[in-house]
Structure 1
Amino acid sequence: MDALLAEIRGCRLCAERFAQTETAHAPRPVVRAQPSATLLIAGQAPGARVHASGKPFTDPSGDRLRDWLGLDAETFYDESRVAILPMGFCFPGYRKGADLPPPAICARTWRTQLMAELPNIRLTLPIGGIAQKWHLGVKTGVTETVAHWRDHLPDAIPLPHPSWRNTAWLKRNPWFGEDLLPLLRSHVQEALR
């Protein structure tokens, strides 16, 4: 695993692509995992703040996600217990003020190898449509996939992105906070035992 993580952290497959975005930046893969991890957080791609810090979910969406999961920062960032593997390891940049989607080449190049190094995962939390399609094989949109979260138990619980941009979605879907979050916290605790 250490050799694979070192190779990923040195990846420059998208250097030219990132140099052509509004933010014109170099690749900086952000990934955390160890073979002993039992919880997998499969996000989309790091944002600009995470690109700057080099540590996943060091932004308001990370605060919201940790609250959803019922985890403190120490547990959340314990890579021996929690693997954080976005579908794209680098900040993809912006176009017209919005985050670009993660380049598909990242998952094609690295995901299968990484998943093979994580034999102890008990619970996968695919966040957003791209992660849900890869990990769950769904063809539905995020709202429908998350609304049918029970279909994926006990191995996975799909989640919307915890971004502030989804605050309106959370208000339109009160079942998420009322029904899914209490069960999510319980399953997370069970996975980490």
Structure 2
Amino acid sequence: MSENNELDELGFEQLVGRVRACTLCRDKLPHEPRPVVQLSESSRILIVGQAPGRKVHETGIPFNDPSGDRLRRWMGVDRETFYDETRMAILPMGFCFPGTGKSGDLPPIAKCAATWRDALLARLKRVELTLVIGQYAHAWHLPDSRRSVTDNVKAWQEYWPRLLPAPHPSPRNNLWFRRNPWFEEEVLPRLQERVADILG
């Protein structure tokens, strides 16, 4: 039986337990592995980011940083709602902080998604909206991954209302937000309406 077939046979809690104990990428990380995910079989919204940053690695809390503050403002939710796993699933493309390079955090390690992603996504049957954040998430979740992040976000209505491509909410992207004010003016009100409708 292949690894993926074996994962499909696991119960939900067993599968999540395996993810949280994963050490597959230990030899590629500058620290001990610490997978950071949040999910429940009843999650209604799925947030797909890149990989945990240093602060998230240290605290074990996803989006527990300035990027998370901006993301919660985008969605119009408070921390209590955001961290309610029965409502929000958070599955980045890499579950561990990959370390820091010359221009920011390193890319997520591909082995993580290849090992775990299909089995986890198959269990999230109640998800009504997937928020796809940044280039690595776009490459996995969008049918046309050859577009730039900006082009994907501009084409958001092609994927709406089941999925929304978004830029990363990192402060490193402040210039992008200044150059693309339409995102906050046109897209975020629709996102907030959709989130409020789903969470009821």
User: What residue is the counterpart of 2:111 in the other structure?
Assistant: 105
Structure 2 counterpart of 1:54, from 53, 60, 81: 60
- Alignment deviations for residues 143-163 of structure 1 (CA, whole Å, 9 cap, x no partner): 100111111011101111000
Aligned residue runs from structure 1 range 40-189, under 5 A? 40-139=46-145, 140-189=147-196
Structure 2 counterpart of 1:15, from 26, 43, 67: 26
**CA deviation after TM superposition for structure 1 residue 136, in Å:** 1.6
TM-score (norm 1): 0.95
**Could you tell me how far apart the structure 2 residues matched to 1:11 and 1:73 are?**
27
**CA deviation after TM superposition for structure 1 residue 138, in Å:** 2.2
User: What residue is the counterpart of 2:198 in the other structure?
Assistant: 191
- Alignment deviations for residues 3-34 of structure 1 (CA, whole Å, 9 cap, x no partner): 1111001111110111xxxxx21110000000
**Could you tell me how far apart the structure 2 residues matched to 1:142 and 1:97 are?**
18
- Alignment deviations for residues 62-111 of structure 1 (CA, whole Å, 9 cap, x no partner): 00000000000000000011000001000000122521000111111000
Structure 1 residues without counterparts, runs of 5 or longer: 19-23
When the two chains are superposed, the root-mean-square deviation of aligned CA atoms in Å is 0.9
AA at the equivalent of 1:113? A
User: What residue is the counterpart of 2:15 in the other structure?
Assistant: 4
TM-score (norm 2): 0.92
**Could you tell me how far apart the structure 1 residues matched to 2:102 and 2:183 are?**
30
Q: How many residues align?
A: 188
Secondary structure of 2:164 counterpart: coil
User: What residue is the counterpart of 1:33 in the other structure?
Assistant: 39
**Could you tell me how far apart the structure 2 residues matched to 1:129 and 1:93 are?**
18
Secondary structure of 1:157 counterpart: strand
Secondary structure of 2:183 counterpart: helix
**Could you tell me how far apart the structure 2 residues matched to 1:30 and 1:138 are?**
28
**Could you tell me how far apart the structure 2 residues matched to 1:136 and 1:189 are?**
24
- Alignment deviations for residues 88-142 of structure 1 (CA, whole Å, 9 cap, x no partner): 0000001225210001111110000001110000000000011112112222111
